[in-house]
Amino acid sequence: MHVSRPAFPLVLVSLMALLLAGCDEIQSQAKTGPPPAPQVTISQPVTRIVADREEYVGRFVAVDAVEVRARVSGYLDAISFKDGQLVEKGDLLFTIDRRPFEAALKEARANLEQAKANLAFAETNLGRAQSLTRGTSISELTFDERVQAKSVAEATVQAQEAAVHQAELNLEFTQLRAPVSGRIGDRRVSTGNLVTGGTSGNTTLLATIQSVDPIRLEFTWDESSYLRFLREHPAARGPEMNVPVSLKLIDEPGFAHQGRLDFIDNAIDRSSGAIRGRAEFPNPDGTFTPGMFARIQIAMAPPAEALLVPDTAIGTEQVQKYVLVVDGDNIAQPKYVALGKVVDGLRVIKEGLSREDRVIINGLMRVRPGVRVAPQSGPIASVDTPPAATKSN
């Protein structure tokens, strides 16, 4: 009978071969050494005088916004403007058929002349009565009647003068002129239509005019920002607010437009906890349009020295922000910081960093705290300055 031999000597040989191979690999690594330290770019924070500014979103509103409505009723006879054009105060806009109002004025003037003639006759009769001896040639009753007739005639003249003045006003109201300077919208009524005038709420809207230059921007402040602003600008509580502000449109890179804060509301809205503010800006070319959105920037405190680093140098650990600085032994150490606003593409560091710190500004993703690095100096570039080329592996 044939008996097979055990295979464990082959397994033992395989294990020995693996051990020998591992030893060779360890010896090879010991000869080559540990991996090289990662190369990073370091720089000290940029020191700059920075003003503490807050940004808010607002909407433009016209200083003067007027609805042009008819004051008298009649058929619209002529339109003297083009839709959307700029108009000056006093320019003729609409004309209502004047003929009925001219006839009414002539009638009122005729009635006035008749009343004046009656007054002259009453004055003559009263003068004749005064020359006669009362009680002999004329009775007391007749004399009193002539005095009364003169008074009635005088009142009638005054009433007819008022009627003439009203007729003149109605004739004047047939020509609707621009009450303010600005840009007029499109006509709401075409010629030939009957328009309703007067002081009631159903008068006909003919057009609207929005003033152009200057223009205002309205925005809202939260309560904490409003309080901080008042503490730094106590004069803003008075009627004269000489607080400069700057503005940019949604398609502009910077705050290039300068204006002045001119109004703060007298109460905080209970539902939103915000207060309304308003700034005025020159608008000579009419670029700013009522209803347009823009961002406004307000200085909340006087300019002060600040440290700035690029956003690429800032890391996040849960809710905390940190930067990695390189110590004297070229070891990366974290420093937790409080962030401020962005100025020219650089982030303001409110606290946690000193101007002597060597901050890793490039290569942060290749480094972890406590690791030795190979630093090389490089500049911190703002938005307006292109970053210098740095070597990286």
pLDDT in tens, 300-309: 877 788 899 9
pLDDT category of residue 386 using cuts at 50, 70 and 90: very low
State pLDDT tens for residues 177-228: 999 999 999 999 999 999 998 877 788 999 999 999 999 999 999 888 888 8
What's the whole-model pTM score?
0.64
In this prediction, residue 385 carries a pLDDT of: 43
Q: How far apart are CA 109 and CA 161, in angstroms?
A: 8
pLDDT at 235 over 60: yes
Q: Where are the alpha helices (DSSP H) in the chain?
A: 8-32, 99-131, 140-173, 223-232
Q: pLDDT tens-digit profile of 13-25?
A: 455 655 555 555 5
The pLDDT value recorded for residue 257 is 93
pLDDT band for position 389 (50/70/90)? very low
pLDDT tens per residue, range 348-382: 898 889 989 999 988 888 888 888 888 888 888 76
Instruction: Determine the average pLDDT of the residues in 273-285.
Output: 92
Q: What is the pLDDT of residue 15?
A: 54
**Residue 202: its pLDDT value, please?**
85
Domains, the chain: 39-49+305-377 (2.40.420.20), 54-63+214-299 (2.40.30.170), 98-173 (1.10.287)
> Residue 40's CB: how many other CB atoms inside 10 A?
26
Whether 230 contacts 300, CB under 8 Å: no
Residues with Cβ within 8 Å of 331's Cβ and at least 6 positions away in sequence, in order, are: 370, 371, 372, 373
Q: Which pLDDT tens digit goes with each residue over 135-186? A: 566 677 777 777 888 888 889 889 999 999 999 999 999 999 999 999 999 9
Would the pLDDT of 339 be above 80? yes
Q: Quote the pLDDT of residue 23.
A: 55
pLDDT band at 312 (very low <50, low <70, confident <90, very high): confident
Residue type, 57: V
* Structure confidence at residue 387 (pLDDT): 42
pLDDT in tens, 243-263: 889 999 998 888 889 999 988
265 exposure class (CB count in 10 Å sphere: 0-12, 13-18, 19+): middle
Q: CA gyration radius for the chain?
A: 44
Q: Do 92 and 177 form a contact (C-beta atoms < 8 A)? A: yes
